[in-house]
Structure 1
Amino acid sequence: MTETMDQIYSLWANRLRNNQGIRSLMEDLGKATGHPNEILLGGGNPAHIPEAESIFHETFGNLTKDSTLRSLLGDYQAPIGNDSFRTLAADYLSPFFHADLKKENIAFFNGSQNAYSFLLNLHSGAMSNGSFKKILLPIVPEYIGYADQSITDDVFYATPPNVVKTGKNSFRYELDKSNFNLTDVGVIALSRPTNPTGNVLSLSDLEWMEEKTKQQNIPMLIDLAYGNPFPNLIGEGEPVLFKEGRTLSLSFSKIGLPGVRFGIVVSDPETIETLSSFAAVSNLAVGNLGVYMMEMLFQQNTLPKLSKNILRPYYESKLKLALELFTTEFQKMGVDYEIHDPMGGFFLWIRFPSLTISNQELYHLCKDKWLFIVSGHYFFPGLNTDFSHTKECIRLTYCRKEEELARGAQILAEIVASHQAKSK
C-alpha cells in the first residue's frame, strides 16, 4: 500500500503543513503582484519612511566602504554573535534597561521570530523530570507567529481577556486576574505592545504576574518588537526594564529593517548559554549584516533619535489618519464596529459584532477585491473556551499610503455592510 504524505511525515511536520496562520500572512506579503488594485493592509511590513531609509542607506553604504566588508561577507560569527559585538550591545543597552548587562546576557539571532522558536521550546513540552509544561499567553489575542513554534502539540494555554468598553465604538482588552492559572505552566509569553491589538499591558500588571510566577520559578518572555528602547512605539506606556526572571527580545524589523533579519535577546547567562547550543545546531551562526549594522547604529546612538523624532511621529500621524478614514466609511455604510484602543505598534484590531459570516470568510471576500487583511481567528492559540471575538475581529496595518488606506476602508465597509445582521 502506498503511504500518504501524512503517514511518512512526523506529527510536528504535519502540524506545520496544516498551518494557515503565519504562513498565510507571509505568503500574502510575498505574493504581492503589483496589481493596480492591490491593497496590502494585511502584513507586518513597516512603512517606507524616507528619513529612516536615508539613515539606513548611509549605514549600509559605510559598511561597503569599510575594511570590514571582507569579514562581513567572508567570515562566520559565533552561533549567537562574537564576544566583542555582544559586549558592545550589553554596554549600550544597560542604561535603557536600568541593568548592568554583560555579554553573557546577550544573544543575537536571525530575527526575534527565530529566537522565539528556541525560547518557547526551551520551557515547554516534556520536561526532564517527567512533567509536561505549557506556555501561558496571559492575554489573547496574541502574536500570530507564536502559535506554531512549539515542537510539541497542545502546549499553549490561554483564557479570554476582560473586555472593557472605552467608548461607543471602542474597547480594550485587560488581563483577567481571576483566571490566572499557573498549573503545569512552564513559561509566560507576551508582546508589548501586543500584536495584533496594540495593547500595552501596564507595568503593574507585569509585576502582579511576576509575584505569582516567581514562587514557582516560571520565567516570562516579553517580546519588545514594537516596544522600548526601539522603535519605542508604546504611546504613553512606561518602558519595560530588565530584571531577574525576564527574557526580553528586541528586533530590527520594526525600525524599518525587516529584510536584515536581526534580533537581540536579553536574558540570564544560563538561558543565553542554552540558546547558543540551539543556534549552533539550527543556524550555525547569526548572520553578519545585522550585527555590523547594529555596531554602527549603536556607536552613533542613532536609534533613540530615530525612534523619537521620525518613527513615533510618523506612525502616530498614520494612526490618526487611518482612524478617520475607517471611521468615516464605517459610519457612512452603517457598519456595526468596534476598534481596540491602539496604544502602540502599527495595527488596527477591529471587531464587527453583527457580522453574519466568519472573519475567515470576510478575509476571502476582501481578497477577491484585492484587499488583503488578516483574519483574527489566528490570534488565539491555546484558547479552548467560546469567545465571540475569535470570529468577529480582523487585523490590518495602517502603514500604507493614504490612498491605499482610503480604498481599503471603502471596500471593507461595503463588504461588512452587506454581511451583517440588520438592526431591529
Structure 2
Amino acid sequence: MTETMDQNYSLWADRLRKNQGIRSLMEDLGKATGHPNEILLGGGNPAHIPEAEAIFEETFGKLAKDPILRSLLGDYQAPIGNDSFRELAADYLSTLLQSKFRKENIAFFNGSQNAYSFLLNLHSGLMADGSFKKILLPVVPEYIGYADQSIAENVFLANPPNVVSTGENRFRYELNQSTFDLTDVGVLAISRPTNPTGNVLSLEQLEWMEKSTTKQNIPILIDLAYGNPFPNLIGKESPIQYKEGRTLSLSFSKIGLPGVRFGIVVSDEETIDTLSSFAAVSNLAVGNLGVYMMQILFQENVLPKLSENILRPFYEAKAKLALHLFTEAFEKMGVEYEIHDPMGGFFLWIRFPSLSISNHELYHLCKDKRLFIVSGHYFFPGLNTDFSHSKECIRLTYCRKEEELARGAQILAEIVASHQANSK
C-alpha cells in the first residue's frame, strides 16, 4: 500500500519525505516531554529572558486592550503586508540600515524561513532563458534550513572553507577565495552570524565577493536572523548595510518571539513585487500578530535598546559560560576537541577530530541519554569535496540554564571519550 502511494507523489514531494535536518531538529523540539532529565541543546529556541519577555508582554497587552484587536483577529493583511505597515517599516529601517527605503522595498512574511523558500527558488533551477542556475553557499557549514527548500534537485553548491587556527582548541572558517566560482550560479546565500558556527563574515570578504557578483548581476541573500539591526548578536564585527544587489532578511524569532512567526525582507522593488505573487499563492496573506507588534516596537523604538542592553550582554555571558563548562568537561575526560570561535548568534560548533563514529551516530547515542544535539553533517549541502569536518562536528545551543548545560557537557564528554580512535 505504501509503495503504491509513493508512486503518486512528485519527485519533489518524495525528496521532502526523506529524512531532513530541519525536520529532525524541529521534531526533537516538538517531542520534548518535559522530563527532568531531558537536556535540550539541539534546537534554535532563544532563551527566555525575563527583561525581554516583560517588554513583549507589555506590547501584547497594548494590542489586547486596543480597538484594533478586531482587525488583528478578523481581517486579512495583503500578501506581504498592508501599505501603511510597510511604509512604517521602510521609514524605520532606513536609519538602521543606512539607506532610503520606500514601502516597495519591504515585504513581510510568516518568518524568514518562509521568505527564503521563495527567495531561493526565485533565483535557482530552470530559468526562463533555458539555463539552470544554482545556489552558492560561499562558506560552509551553513544554515540547516536552506538545504531542502529548493523545488529543483541538485541546485546547491558549497564552497569549501579555509580552516584557520585561532588558538589552542579554537578555529574559525574563512572564505576560500581560491575556490570561489560563480559558474552557473544564480544566487548566493549567507547567514550572518552564521548558523551553525557563530561565524560573522567580514564586510571585506562580502565586498570582495560583490566585485564579481555585481558584474554578473547575481544577487546575494543575507540572512540576519541573529544579526543587525536586531538582535544584533555580531560581536565586534561591523553591521551590514543595505545596498543594491543585496536582499536582507530580518526576523523577530531571535529577539525572543519565535512563536509569532514574523520576518521582514528588504530588497529591490522588482524582487519585492515578485515575492508578493509568491506569497499570495502560497500564504494568501501574512499573519497579523507580528505586523501589529512590529508597529508598536518600531514606533516606540524598543529594539535597539533591547538588543544592546539586554540581548547581547545575555548571550555573550552565556557563550562564555558554555565555553567554560564544555572545555572543563572535555579536558577532564581527555576528549580531543576544537571549538569554532563563537563570534555571534547562540550556538557552539564543536569538532571531535578523533571520533571513531560519525556525528550522526553520536547524535543518536546522545539522544539515548536524553541529550539533544544536532549532527553537523546536515550543514554542508552541495559540498562535493571530502571535508572531514562534515563527519566530525556537532552544533549545540548555549541558551539553556547553567545546570542543563553542565549536565549536557558531562554526558557529551563521556560519550565522545568512549568513542575516540585512541580510546581503550
TM (normalized to structure 2)?
A: 0.99
Distance 1:208 1:241 in 2: 15
Question: Aligned-residue CA RMSD in angstroms?
Answer: 1.1
Cα distance in structure 2, aligned partners of 1:126 and 1:310: 45
Paired residues of 1:52 and 1:306 also in contact (CA < 8 A): yes
* Post-superposition CA distance 1:165-190 (Å, at most 9, x none): 11120000000000010000000000
The correspondence of residues 46-61 of structure 1 with structure 2, limited to 5 A, is 46-61=46-61
Distance 1:310 1:339 in 2: 26
Q: Which residue of 2 aligns with 1:279?
A: 279
How has the CA–CA distance of structure 1 residues 368 and 2 changed in structure 2, closer, same or farther, with 3 Å as cutoff? Answer: closer
1:189-211 deviation digits (Å, cap 9, x = unpaired) = 00000000000000010000000
The amino acid that maps onto 1:279 is A
Q: Is the 8 A contact 2:349 2:393 kept in 1?
A: yes
Q: Is 1:208 aligned to residue 201 of structure 2?
A: no
Give the equivalent residue in structure 2 for 1:371.
371
CA distance in 1, matches of 2:98, 2:255: 22
In the TM superposition, structure 1's runs of 4+ consecutive aligned residues that sit over 4 Å from their partners are: none
Percent identity between the two aligned chains:
84
Q: Secondary structure at the match of 2:350?
A: strand
CA displacement 1:360-383 (0-9 Å, x = unmatched): 000000000000000000000000
Count matched residues: 424
Superposed, 1:11-410 pairs within 5 Å as: 11-410=11-410
Q: Distance in 2 between matches of 1:176 and 1:411?
A: 35
Q: SS of the counterpart of 1:135?
A: strand
| SS across alignment from 2:91 | helix
Q: C-alpha offsets along residues 27-59 of structure 1, whole Å, 9 cap, x if unaligned?
A: 000001011100000000000000000000000
Q: State the AA in 2 paired with 1:367.
A: K
Does structure 2 conserve the Cα–Cα contact (< 8 Å) formed by 1:159 and 1:385?
A: no
Is the Cα–Cα contact under 8 Å of residues 108 and 263 in structure 1 kept in the other structure? Answer: yes
Which runs of 5 or more residues in structure 2 are unaligned? none
C-alpha distance in structure 2 between counterparts of 1:249 and 1:214, whole Å: 19
Asked if the contact 2:135/2:155 (under 8 Å) is kept, the reply is: yes
Structure 1 residues not aligned, in runs of 5+? none
Instruction: Report if the CA contact (8 A) 2:20-2:148 is conserved.
Output: no
Question: 1:2, CA displacement in angstroms?
Answer: 8.7
Q: CA deviation at 1:3?
A: 5.1
The code of the aligned residue for 1:53 comes to E
Which runs of structure 2 are paired with 1:407-422 in the superposition (5 Å)? 407-422=407-422
The aligned amino acid for 1:190 is I
After TM superposition, give the deviation of residue 96 of structure 1 in Å: 1.0
Contact 2:223 2:249 in 1 (8 A): yes
How far apart, CA to CA, are the structure 2 residues paired with 1:159 and 1:108?
30
- Separation of aligned partners in 2, 1:235 and 1:405: 22
Give the Å deviation of 1:421.
1.4
**Paired residues of 1:41 and 1:372 also in contact (CA < 8 A):** yes
